[in-house]
Amino acid sequence: MTKLPRWAFVAVGLVVLTTLVLFVTSANGMFVLHPTVRHITIDASQFEYSPSTITVNQGDVVQIQLISDDVTHGFYLDSYGVSTAAPPGHPSSVQFVADRAGTFRFRCSHTCGPLHPFMIGQLTITPASRTNPGPFAASGVLAIAMAIGSIAWTWRSSYRLEAQDA
Instruction: DSSP for 103-134, please give it.
Output: EEEEE--S--STTGGG-EEEEEEEPP-SSS--
State yes or no: pLDDT of 1 exceeds 90: no
CA distances (Å), 134 to each of 35, 76, 86, 129, in order?
8, 25, 31, 7
**Confidence grade of residue 16 (pLDDT, cut at 50, 70, 90):** confident
Q: Tell which residue, 65, 115, 113, 62, has the closest CA to residue 86.
A: 65
State yes or no: pLDDT of 30 exceeds 60: no
Interval 85-92 mean pLDDT? 95
Output the pLDDT for position 144.
Answer: 72
Residues 109-125: tens digit of each pLDDT: 999 889 989 999 999 99
Interval 72-95 mean pLDDT? 94
Output the pLDDT for position 31.
Answer: 45
Q: Tell which residue, 72, 96, 101, 97, has the closest CA to residue 85.
A: 72
Dmax over Cα atoms in the chain, in whole Å? 89
**Confidence grade of residue 38 (pLDDT, cut at 50, 70, 90):** very high
Output the pLDDT for position 85.
Answer: 95
CA distances (Å), 91 to each of 40, 43, 50, 84, in order?
12, 9, 14, 10
Name the more confident of 45 and 149.
45
**Confidence grade of residue 43 (pLDDT, cut at 50, 70, 90):** very high
Average pLDDT of the chain to the nearest whole number: 80
Interval 8-28 mean pLDDT? 66
Name the more confident of 26 and 41.
41
